[in-house]
Amino acid sequence: MSASPRPTIIFGAFDRHNLGDMLFAHVLQALLAPRPLAFAGLIDADLRGCGGHRVHALRRLALRLPGANLVHAGGEILSCDAPLAAAMLLPPRQAQDLLPQDDAPYADRLAWARQRLGMPDLAPYVAGRDAIPQGAALLHNAVGGADLDSAEPALREEVRRKLAQADVVTVRDARSAAALAGLGIASRLLPDPVCLLRELFGAPIAQRARQGEVAAARAGFADGYLAVQCSADFGDDATLSAMAAGLEALARARGLGIVFFRAGAALWHDELETLQRLKARMRMPAMLMTSLDIVDICALIAASRGYLGSSLHGRIVAMAYALPRANLLFPGTHNANNSAKHDAYAAIWEAPGLPTALAVSDIPEAMRAALDAAPRTLEDLARAHAAIYRSGFAQLRAMLQ
């Protein structure tokens, strides 16, 4: 009689509301069934009300599951430092009272983060061998760190040390691979796990598209709509006005409606008020989906004529469905690194000729290439990504005892 498989902990940033991170947990759950799984983040959280998982703090969960494997689910975890991680786990309405001052020294912000998280790590979403016992597998599944090479030396050294203890490291872009190579860490390339979204969850997503706000969007725009999202970084009046003007010109030229949505409600992600102000500037009919359920979000994109926004996973969902897509460049130089992961991912996995990240002022012209892309090209690319990821993940799965 064969021994029962070890339990496996899926670890990631799905302890807060963010589309991509929450989808990772579902993809890995489907690919690892029927293996016993538990889901861990940095804190206890219950996101089942918006399509996520019940998540437990890793340190306590590992004590309850001695001998468990640990799989990093994916995402831009390699360069996410403790102050950023702790901040994004705050309830947005309480953040103003709980966050350190913007001009506080980094040492003070780090001390605050360590106190909030109850751990000393500089890169808290990267687990080392101290989190699990010898003999259990420690795997990294298509993780990212596109700006790791510009991170603080101490953080880079911690990441190097932890990854050196892993059984295998796979990353989702060449820029992250190069940064790790500079630290002496070998890695393999895999596309983002969300490339399997349509293959794994096409039926429930299609069913959701016939209900609620997504059904209303489809009925309201019989000739189709563009699914549009932007983070709070786009919330200044000038940027919103320019974005509204560009979307109007694009929509009128293509006979499309516009439906706004949020891809993440965690702190420093998307704010409803920003999208309400953007919608108010539109001089043509537009809709705003208020649902934060990730199945609704996927259904809205899947049923659209294309995606435009600041979310990398808005793009990757559109890629999985072979739809036109483009990301928006973050306004202002202070957010330059926020576009690094978009550019890095598109550089290796996107079809030639499609826009990667475009300025708000370039929306009508730059989106033309995306909307005019050959459907067969987009479909072939979507299927190729799914096949590459399945093959690569099979090798990781084989390492789980």
pLDDT tens track for 127-153: 999 988 888 999 999 999 999 999 999
Q: Which residues contact 243 (CB under 8 A, 6 or more apart)?
A: 230, 234, 278, 328, 360, 363
Determine the residue type at 257. Answer: G
Asked whether the beta carbons of 222 and 256 are under 8 A apart, the reply is no
Q: Kindly state whether residues 167 and 210 are assigned to the same domain.
A: no
User: Is residue 85 situated within a structural domain?
Assistant: yes
CA–CA gap between residue 94 and residue 30 (Å, rounded): 35
Task: Give Cα 76 distance to the centre of its chain.
Answer: 8
Whether 184 and 256 share a structural domain: no
- Residues 298, 165, single domain; the answer is no
Residue 17 lies in a domain: yes
350-370: pLDDT as tens digits: 998 888 889 999 999 989 889
Domain boundary among 171, 190, 209: 190
Question: Could you tell me the pLDDT band of residue 338, with boundaries at 50, 70 and 90?
Answer: low
d(CA 310, CA 290): 17
Q: Establish if 177 belongs to a structural domain.
A: yes
Whether residue 375 is preceded by a cis peptide bond, meaning omega within 30 degrees of 0, is: no
User: CA 237, 242, 246, 252: dihedral to nearest 10 degrees?
Assistant: 60
User: Are 253 and 338 contained in the same domain?
Assistant: yes
Task: Residue 19: give its domain's CATH number.
Answer: 3.40.50
d(CA 243, CA 239): 6
Residue 212 and residue 133 share a domain: no
What is the domain range of residue 287? Answer: 197-385
Residues 156 and 243 both lie in one domain = no
- 212, HSE (Cβ side, Cα atoms, 13 Å): 17
Same domain, 271 and 233: yes
Q: In this structure, is residue 282 part of a structural domain?
A: yes
Compute the C-alpha angle 248/254/256, nearest 5°: 65
- Give residue-wise pLDDT tens across range 73-127: 999 999 999 999 999 999 988 888 889 988 899 999 999 999 999 999 999 999 9
- pLDDT score of 333: 44
Q: Are residues 73 and 127 in the same domain?
A: yes
Quote the CA–CA distance of 1 and 226 in Å, as a whole number.
55
List of residues 6+ apart from 388 with CB closer than 8 A: 190, 191
Q: What is the mean pLDDT of residues 208-229?
A: 98
Q: In angstroms, how far apart are the furthest CA atoms of the chain?
A: 69
Beta carbons of 308 and 228 less than 8 angstroms apart = yes
Compute the distance between CA of residue 68 and CA of residue 8 in angstroms, rounded to an integer: 5
| Whether residue 128 is found in the same domain as residue 220 | no
Residue % of the chain over a pLDDT of 70: 98
CA distances from 164 to 82, 138, 169 (A): 20, 10, 9
Each residue of 177-202: pLDDT tens digit? 999 999 999 999 999 999 999 999 99
Residue 393 domain flag: no
Residues 239 and 163 in one domain: no
Encoded tokens for 292:
């934060």
The CATH number of whichever domain residue 376 belongs to comes to 3.40.50.2000
Q: Which tens digits make up the pLDDT trace of 147-169?
A: 999 999 999 999 999 999 999 99
- 161, 190, 219 - which closes a domain: 190
DSSP string, 315-358: HHHHHHTT--EEEEPPSSGGGGGGGHHHHHHHHHHSPTTS--EE
Which of 190, 207, 234 marks a domain boundary?
Answer: 190
Q: Is the pLDDT of residue 4 over 80?
A: no
Average pLDDT, the chain: 95
- Residue 390 belongs to a domain: no
Distance, CA of 118 to CA of 6 (rounded, Å): 27
Q: Look at the chain and report how many structural domains it folds into.
A: 2
Residue 89, classified by CB atoms within 10 Å of its CB into exposed (0-12), middle (13-18) or buried (19+), is buried
